[in-house]
Chain A
Amino acid sequence: MSVGLEAFMLLAAVLFALGLYGAISKKSTIQMLMSFELMAIAISINLIAINRWVTPREMTGQYFALFEMALAAAEIAIGLTLIVALYRRAQSEEVDDFTELKG
């Protein structure tokens, strides 16, 4: 079988599902961040693959993927900064320790 669009989209779907599971289930904020990264990568793969197979003459998907990477890098930087700030406050990075919004 030749490697086609479906294969890439299946890979992206698996990666997204893994990331979503990790974001929902992991207790560590660091791990949650990593899961978000997985989901972002899955979306990037989708963008590039669809561009390659659906509209190969245009580079829109590629450009968008590049922007998305830069955005993900910035997001990680801010996310890590927040986590460090939270750690300094509560001496913990466990998400269950931050329940101040409990009703």
Chain B
Amino acid sequence: MSSTMSYYLLLIPLIPTLVFAALLFLPRDLRNRLMYVSPIAMGTSALISIIAGLTEFPGGPYSILRLDYRLATLGEMPLNLTIDVGPLSLIMLVMVTVIGTCVQVYSLSYMKDDERRGWYFTVMSLFTAAMLLLVMSGDLLLIFAMWEIMGLCSYMLIGFWYKEKAPRRASQKAFLVTRAGDGGFFVALAAIYAACGTFNINDILASAPGWAPWVAAVAALGLLWAAMGKSAQLPLSVWLPDAMAGPTPGSALIHAATMVAAGVFMVARMLPLFELTPFVLTITLWIGVATALFGAILACFQNDIKKVLAYSTISQLGVMFVALGVGSALAALFHLYTHAFFKALLFLGAGSIIHATHTQDTRKMGGLAQKMPLTTVCFTIGAFALAGVAPLTGFFSKDEVFAVIKYASNYPALVLACAMGVTTSLYVTKMWLRVFFGKAKTPHVHEGGILELAPLGVLAAATLFGGISTRAFGDYIGDIGVWPSWYMATISTCVTLAGATLGYLAVRGKFDRFKEPLRFVGAIMDNKLYLDAFYDNVIIKPYFIVSDLLWKFDEVVVDGIVNGVVALYRRLTRLTWRFDEVVVDGAVNGTAAAYLEVTEASRIIDESIIDGAVNSSATLSQRFGTLLRKAQTGKLQTYQRLAIGGLVLVLVLVVVLKGM
């Protein structure tokens, strides 16, 4: 246990984020040429994660990195984004980065001829980075943000070959269905913030016992609904089988390490909140049981290798929900962890097989064991882990789930879980026998290159030897679990063997005679439990009908009102025009005429009176001037005499007035 903060852990999500940011703005050609950057970066992240994970061994329930970033202050309350990394996060980081690296290295070969391969790696980087930050985050807001980024990335990956119709529809379906689940996340966030004013997970879980029971129930139900959307639980499972339309390595990432794992991980983090409201936990349990069982049964009826794997993912996620439903985060996370490795292995193996045989139909494959021995070995390890064969990881994690169910003394669930185990073993055996044995039906089959085989080898090794870590896993994440006994292991092995026998018989055609009487079952299965039909009829068709009605309403009522208003307006305009012409124009013309009259009168006044006055005053001054002119003789003496006369006059006046 390190005492200082391990800030270098921030590099783990930062490196793929930087790769994403760098590739995003490059032109397509350059991006395609730089695609190697993405797996290298992911490998670096994986290395850092593994080193960090080993440094912290043997782990425990503590934080090794806690960071708060204040996003905003709402009133007095700080709104923080928190990163809180403990050993649980570390183990998830190791899982995500290792699988991410394997998938990306594999993709280098698988996607090498695609014209948009650079974009594929860009999305993969963002997808993995979002999942990494999600497992590191210490508050629900950051989880929600990453949750949504993953929703977007899955949309882009599933719809990667957007020129065809099926991927387009599948991507929209996945996005809409998971969005429908996200509505629950919103409700839960609102309830949680109203109850305790923070999104920090530790604070929430600390204060949750003091909440009103119904608030806790609303929050738990909302989170459960969101997780059901993300982790493809019944009845929100419909998007996952269709999501197979995307590139196979992309499916591996979605099914193993990132998208679907997020739901289980989130519920596991918030499990103490669920435990406050036992009925929500019960709902979780039974949804898990139903999903696990129906997913497995549906997988039996699929012939498409990717569809089989898709339904097996749904089924295995159901198993994780069962573990959560009986209150064991440890069992759920351990199964999530082991499942991630062997499911990634299976998908990558399936990708190689599809590349080699150019078909996805298991009925058209066969005899691949001789042609592709290495792939066969790896795929077999994955398939046996899925079926729960000792000593592969799947065996330990599934037994762990069985053990916690038994510990909870929920025997109906245990029986159904065993039925699920039988069915799982059945479809795995059926698929395995069909693909690798019998006579070869496709020519020119050969192994993939080193870039395809190396990731398979790494994942196969992890699946083969991961079982040893069973105890250490519990200690590492700091959860003391109920570990399976020999008794449980025996039951589990019997279940697996029973399933395998049934699978063998099914491939040999022993059940063909039941096909006719049980045709209705096949019909139900072919229609995927009628879930799609249900959504079609209950949501999509009524939506169109309501849209149609609204359109009619729009056309008749709204358009009618608008047209009426227009007609009225035209009438009104005409009336106004008349008024204008008669009254206003009349008034204007009358005023103009009156004005002309007044002008004429004023002209006359001007001419006779004013001009007369001006002219007569001019004449008067002319007369006066003529009179005065006579005084100006021009003769010098005249002026002299006048001057003297004036002087004399002044003197006389002075004398007279002053009186000498």
The chain A residues found within 8 Å of chain B, CB to CB, are 20, 23-25, 32, 95-96, 98-103
Complex Cα–Cα for A49 and B635 (A) = 36
Q: Which residues of A contact B635 (CB under 8 A)?
A: 95-96, 99, 102
- Nearest chain B CB to A33's CB is how many angstroms away? 12
Complex Cα–Cα for A25 and B638 (A) = 10
Q: Which residues of A contact B644 (CB under 8 A)?
A: 20, 24
Tell me how many residues of B have a C-beta within 8 Å of chain A: 13
The interface bits of chain B over 612-655 (1 if a CB of A lies within 8 angstroms of the residue's CB, else 0) are 00000000000000001111111111001100100000000000
Q: 5 A-B pairs, CB-CB below 8 angstroms?
A: A24-B637, A24-B644, A99-B635, A101-B632, A103-B628
- Determine if B632 and A102 form an interchain contact, defined as CB atoms under 8 angstroms apart: yes
- Determine if A100 and B640 form an interchain contact, defined as CB atoms under 8 angstroms apart: no
Nearest opposing residue in chain B for A26, CB measure? B637
Complex Cα–Cα for A20 and B648 (A) = 13
Q: Which residues of A contact B631 (CB under 8 A)?
A: 103
- Determine if A99 and B637 form an interchain contact, defined as CB atoms under 8 angstroms apart: no
CB-based A-B contact count at 8 angstroms: 31
- Determine if A95 and B636 form an interchain contact, defined as CB atoms under 8 angstroms apart: yes
Complex Cα–Cα for A43 and B394 (A) = 156
On whether A103 and B634 interact (CB within 8 A), knowing A20-B644, A24-B644, the answer reads yes
- Determine if A99 and B633 form an interchain contact, defined as CB atoms under 8 angstroms apart: yes
- Determine if A25 and B633 form an interchain contact, defined as CB atoms under 8 angstroms apart: no
Closest 6 pairs (CB-CB, A-B): A103-B632, A102-B634, A99-B634, A103-B629, A101-B634, A95-B636
- Determine if B629 and A24 form an interchain contact, defined as CB atoms under 8 angstroms apart: no
Known: A24-B641, A24-B644, A102-B635. 10 other contacts (CB 8 A): A23-B640, A25-B637, A95-B636, A98-B634, A98-B636, A99-B634, A99-B635, A102-B632, A103-B630, A103-B631
- Determine if A24 and B640 form an interchain contact, defined as CB atoms under 8 angstroms apart: yes
- Nearest chain B CB to A60's CB is how many angstroms away? 26
Q: Which residues of A contact B628 (CB under 8 A)?
A: 103
Nearest opposing residue in chain A for B633, CB measure? A102
Complex Cα–Cα for A100 and B633 (A) = 9
Q: Which residues of B contact A96 (CB under 8 A)?
A: 635
Nearest opposing residue in chain A for B630, CB measure? A103
- Nearest chain B CB to A19's CB is how many angstroms away? 12
Complex Cα–Cα for A101 and B633 (A) = 7
Nearest opposing residue in chain A for B640, CB measure? A24
Nearest opposing residue in chain B for A27, CB measure? B637
Complex Cα–Cα for A102 and B630 (A) = 8
Q: Which residues of B contact A103 (CB under 8 A)?
A: 628-634
Q: Which residues of B contact A24 (CB under 8 A)?
A: 637, 640-641, 644
Complex Cα–Cα for A95 and B638 (A) = 11
- Nearest chain B CB to A30's CB is how many angstroms away? 14
Q: Which residues of B contact A20 (CB under 8 A)?
A: 644
Q: Which residues of A contact B633 (CB under 8 A)?
A: 99, 102-103
Complex Cα–Cα for A23 and B635 (A) = 13
Q: Which residues of B contact A98 (CB under 8 A)?
A: 634, 636
Complex Cα–Cα for A20 and B629 (A) = 27
- Nearest chain B CB to A57's CB is how many angstroms away? 30
